[in-house]
Structure 1
Amino acid sequence: MRRWLETAAQDLREYTEVLNALNVFPVADADTGTNLAATVETAAQAAAVLETPDLSELVTLVGQAALEDARGNSGTLFSVFLTALGGGLDGAERLTAQSLSNGIGAGSVRAWSALTDPVPGTMLSVVKAAADTPIPEVGETGSNHQFAEYLRAMVTAAKDAVLASTEDLEVLHGTHKVDAGALGMLIVLDALRRAVTGQEASGAHLWAGAESDAAAPDDQAIPVNVQPVADILEEMGYAYYPPAHDEDASTLEALQDAHTGVEVMATVDLTALDAAQIRHELAEAGDSVIVSAVSQIDEDTWRWRVHVHVQEQRQAVDVLRGRGTPRNITVTGLSKDDRGRQFRVDPTDLG
């Protein structure tokens, strides 16, 4: 678990510029790489300090920590996925093909349901492809041989979903590029494959679950020599970045220069009914609406993390204040002139 997130954070830092350049959906604000890398880094830091022998609890708590400080649409969806993955691991003493399949399935369902208007061809399609991957009938059930083969098949399915995004997303039609969020999620899943199978410098493994990332496997895992991310980058002409020539560069840049408005994210305590109403009202005010439960406070109330794109921050804040007391509010500019500028808002200052 810890090794996976450390590896994913490192990989995302390496690919940040590529992901930012590809970012044209849901808003072409050139920050998918930055946001996803920062959010996964938060998850990795949380995993490093949390101490629990329960694998499900560890992943859930790490996901909740990431969700509270998630950056952007991609970071929020990753955190939602990770939190639900933890719940899907309930009862698992260690990672196996079956336990991970259960977790990814739970994560996929939660991620798709978190968005008011989910769109295929995005990171949602990647997690669904991973969730739909059948467990191979090789080796002993629960063995590391089976686990390694499952990871290979899962990452291959995720890679195919990334490549399909060129046709699935209308905004990418006529280009040779893939969706940034989809590629980012593939990077995260492939980091899991490499961490588990030991295909990294440290050679650490995750076989034993939460207590020890480096425990010896019960049998010898089969090396999985696949490079899905590198294959996709080469196919797009990004084997070296920045490329000497990119025929799609002007198209992507034009899309990224066209957007206006702001991204608003906040935490608020609500009943499930109020959360549903807020989702509806935010969908009328803007788009890219995500409303996802972080943790339960009491019998009727949950802590929710909210994400939305609107033209003016007050449109979102007023909706939230109508049913609760929002906090941890961040506003990020989406227009060309304000892109990347993020600041925190005290709702009491808005009158």
Structure 2
Amino acid sequence: MQTKIAANVQALKRWLGKAEEVLGNHSDRLNAINIFPVADGDTGTNLYLTVRSASRAVADLATSDVGELLAEAGRAAMEEARGNSGTLLSVFLAALAEPLHGTTRLTGPLLAAALERAEIRCWSALSEPVPGTMLSAVEAATRAANAGDAAQNGDHSNHGLARTLNAAVEAALEAVVATEGQLDPLADAHIVDAGAVGFLLILDTLRASALGEELQPELLEGLHGYGVQDPHIHLDHQAEGMEVMCTINLSPLDAATLRLQLDELGDSVILSAVSEVPDGYRWRVHVHVSDPEAALAAIRQFGEPAHLSVTTLASPDPAQDLVPDGTCRTRDTDD
């Protein structure tokens, strides 16, 4: 039941806090259907930990500027983004902030503009973006928001925002359902994409937090593979390789060079700017490789990375990392 629409910084803080809770509750089921791009069964965990970083970074932030709030959330998420899905989500949050700087409340037209910026950034962050993933859900939500009456007619009322959010969630749900037929591994397993479902949950949490409503549990009804009694599909697939993630300062030219080198060494390459620094930007780097030493050598030619993790994709426990000397370490998730 709707109580009050107050899409200000307090509502966005509630959104991130509630998203952390929701993803925590759904992480096991998201992990269970995580088989693309690799069946490492950690999409739910990665999304939860990434949102947790964002939520905790802004919990006590004193500002009335929604753009400033989301920029800080995106920066914190990007610094400690986990996995492919968490990295994309952090790109989404950081880009969402860009058109909102200087505003104190979210409206339909502003949300449409922010989603459009986030869609562009998410697709461009990946070297080889693939439809049928979280990207498709972001794209569908963006198109619905921009096609709505509020965006088309410049309606900044609360009712306009409600229409925009409802349309975006509905479109994202349709995109999630469609993922099953867009990627062969998902079609063969008869499941929807884990990252796309995670984004749907995050978007519905935004809708509920902004409009003073409850989440819509019926959104998940009928999603193939998402029933509580459904098996952990990812256990039937063997993931191979290593996942390398870090943050490093690079000039735009060096970033482009590094992207090309990582493209040659592996796949699922993501590079996205975190913040501006002297002579360039701070970048979040993500790649799946068979030889982590080659990837680390390519990265270190430009400087020493921070927040470095090298994780085996075959591990069922995303908290178990492999350091470059081949020994195993447990990551402190509260860093």
Confirm or deny a common fold (TM above 0.5): yes
1:144 equivalent in alignment to 2:158: yes
Q: Alpha-carbon deviation of 1:8?
A: 0.8
Find the counterpart in structure 2 of residue 167 from structure 1.
181
Question: Distance in 2 between the 1:265 and 1:231 partners?
Answer: 32
Find the counterpart in structure 1 of residue 224 from structure 2.
236
1:272 equivalent in alignment to 2:252: yes
* Residue of 267, 270, 279 corresponding to 1:287: 267
Find the counterpart in structure 1 of residue 191 from structure 2.
177
* Residue of 61, 72, 79 corresponding to 1:50: 61
Query: Structure 2 counterpart of 1:309, which letter?
Result: H
Change (3 A) 1:146 1:117: same
Question: Distance in 2 between the 1:177 and 1:157 partners?
Answer: 19
* Residue of 235, 239, 249 corresponding to 1:253: 235
* Residue of 269, 272, 276 corresponding to 1:296: 276
Question: Distance in 2 between the 1:250 and 1:52 partners?
Answer: 42
Aligned length: 311
Question: Distance in 2 between the 1:184 and 1:48 partners?
Answer: 22
User: Larger RCO: Structure 1 or Structure 2 (Cα < 8 Å, ≥ 6 residues apart)?
Assistant: 2
Query: Cα RMSD (Å) of the superposition?
Result: 2.1
Question: Distance in 2 between the 1:237 and 1:281 partners?
Answer: 37
Equivalent residues of 1:330, 1:345 under 8 A apart: no
Percentage of identical aligned residues: 46
Contiguous gaps of at least 5 residues in structure 1: 201-225, 347-351
Question: Distance in 2 between the 1:41 and 1:48 partners?
Answer: 10
* Residue of 111, 121, 130 corresponding to 2:132: 121
Equivalent residues of 1:328, 1:344 under 8 A apart: no
* Cα-to-partner distance string for 1:253-284 (whole Å, 9 max, x where unaligned): 222xx112211111111110110010010011
Query: Structure 2 counterpart of 1:135, which letter?
Result: G
Equivalent residues of 1:260, 1:336 under 8 A apart: no
Change (3 A) 1:259 1:238: closer
The residue correspondences of 1:1-351 to structure 2 (distance < 5 A) are 1-133=12-144, 134-136=147-149, 141-200=155-214, 227=216, 230-236=218-224, 238-239=226-227, 241=228, 243=229, 246=230, 249=231, 252-255=234-237, 258-298=238-278, 300-336=279-315, 340-342=319-321
* Cα-to-partner distance string for 1:18-63 (whole Å, 9 max, x where unaligned): 1000100111100000000111011110110222222211111110
Q: Alpha-carbon deviation of 1:137?
A: 5.2
Question: Distance in 1 between the 2:317 and 2:24 partners?
Answer: 23
Query: Structure 1 counterpart of 2:200, which letter?
Result: L
Change (3 A) 1:150 1:345: same
Question: Distance in 2 between the 1:137 and 1:293 partners?
Answer: 31
Equivalent residues of 1:163, 1:232 under 8 A apart: no
Change (3 A) 1:150 1:16: same
Equivalent residues of 2:109, 2:154 under 8 A apart: no
Equivalent residues of 2:150, 2:164 under 8 A apart: no
Change (3 A) 1:233 1:312: farther
Question: Distance in 2 between the 1:54 and 1:149 partners?
Answer: 23
Q: Which has the larger radius of gyration?
A: 1
